[in-house]
Amino acid sequence: MKGAFKTIASMFHQADPKANFAFEFWDGERVCYGDPSRPGAVTLRLKSPETAKQIIANGFLGFGEAYMDGSAELEGDLQALMRLGLRIGFDRTPPSPRQKLSLWLLRMATRNTTCRAADNICHHYDRGEDFYVLYLDPTMTYSCAYFRSPDDSLEQAQRQKYEHIARKLLLKPGERLLDIGCGWGGMLIYAVQNYGVTAVGNTISRSQYEYARRTVKELELEDRIEVVCEDYRNLTGKFDKIVSIGMFEHVGKKFIRVFMQKVSRLLEKGGLGLLHTIGKDAPSASDPWVWKYIFPGGYLPTPDEILREMGKVGFSVLDLENLRLHYARTLDLWIENYERNVEKVHRMFGDAFVRMWRLYLHLSSAGFKYGESRLYQVLFSHGLNNELPLTRDHVHVQGPV
């Protein structure tokens, strides 16, 4: 098993001869390239031959599980290791037949039917806001922020994201806005306070629903914001504008069409919609570790899958923007917050969880920087609207947020 890891180390070195990293084995033996004490360097420590075997047999799923149970340790820059792994295609290691079967069973059990979707969502979001406040910003926004400058604070960048979306959607006083998958209510509140719309938002996380209702009540916005605990497939009404931010990842490949059909029934003719979602340039298998531990039921669509189904329901795509590096920066700021509060996380959920969540955050950031993850904002109109501004200048005008 050491041999396999020595081969991997030499592939890492070939992929990036300047990378500083080391592998340490259970018996103290060490394979080292460059200077593993430098900033940006990383050391992987394997505690037993079984750990090494598990990683070789199961690829990233094996590594993730070994990291979670402590039999594999990392020191230094986790994302540097992921970058090297992505460079040599370690994420594309084909799963073993046994792993394939267990993933297939998991996939069947987590399909996003209306009655199953809530369980999948609760798996991730119902840890309660006590956990999420430890690393999100005060607006409690759990999606990609928008950085006008890399030095923007997380809260500022999240407000800028809401502003960016509001400008793209050309929100106007008196319009009815629907936010599909409204989370803790950040976009609803921003749009109502800054653009004078009335808004409806839905979530199927009980914990988000209660938090959002409470916040709306505290801000005395109950006459202008309605939050419902309801699957998107059950929504009714007609809206001038529709937004969905960081929810589409949970819809699932088989339900992309259902989602678009539903949106087309909810959106007025000539109305605008904005879909903000993680995706990939080209199809590839979902990461089994992320699927199993972080986002059961999740699926990262390609832009052509999105646009094809939009075309079929009569949406006209106006604008697509890829905010990939904005999500990497968002995640890095979440990681800073997370590590600052890691003792509290430890007290809440224990050691394995601390490591699992750390891995998830770093893996996500590395995916946007070096891997296949993208963040697409797709603006569309329902049918044609010849009254829209000719250019996108109004989105990019500077001004206070």
Per CB under 8 A, residues contacting its own copies are 146-150, 280-283, 302-308, 310-312, 314-322, 324-326, 369-370, 374, 384, 386, 388, 390-393, 395-398
Nearer to its own copies, 229 or 320 (CB): 320
Give the shortest CB-196-to-its own copies separation in angstroms.
Answer: 25
Residue 151 vs 218, nearer CB to its own copies = 151
E runs forming strands in 281-354: 315-322
| Encoded tokens for 88 | 């040599």
Q: How far is the CB of 379 from its own copies (least distance, A)?
A: 9
Tokens read off for 25: 């084995």
CB closer to its own copies, 250 vs 280: 280
Which residue, 32 or 325, has its beta carbon nearer to its own copies? Answer: 325
Nearer to its own copies, 17 or 173 (CB): 17
Min separation Cβ 164 and its own copies, Å: 9
Query: Could you tell me the smallest distance in angstroms from the CB atom of residue 89 to its own copies?
Result: 13
How are beta strands 42-46 and 21-24 bridged, if at all? parallel
User: Least CB distance from residue 372 to its own copies, whole Å?
Assistant: 9
Please name which of 70, 42, 43, 33 lies closest in space to residue 54, comparing C-alpha atoms.
Answer: 70
User: Is the separation of the CB atoms in 360 and 334 below 8 Å?
Assistant: no
* Shortest Å, Cβ 237 to its own copies: 25
Going by C-alpha positions, the residue among 201, 186, 184, 63 that lies closest to residue 131 is 184
Tokens 């407000």 sit at which residue?
159
CA dist 198 and 177 (Å) reads 6
Give the N- to C-terminal CA distance of the chain in Å, as an integer.
Answer: 55
Ramachandran class of 360: left when φ > 0, alpha when ψ lies in -120 to 50, beta otherwise: alpha
Both structure tokens of 337: 């917050």
Q: Which is nearer to its own copies, 286 or 302 (CB)?
A: 302
- The CB-of-231 to its own copies minimum distance in angstroms stands at 27
Work out whether the CA dihedral 160, 177, 202, 301 comes out positive or negative.
Answer: negative
What type of residue is 211? Y
- Pick between residue 147 and residue 338 the one whose CB is nearest to its own copies: 147
- 313 burial type by CB count under 10 A (0-12 exposed, 13-18 middle, 19+ buried): middle
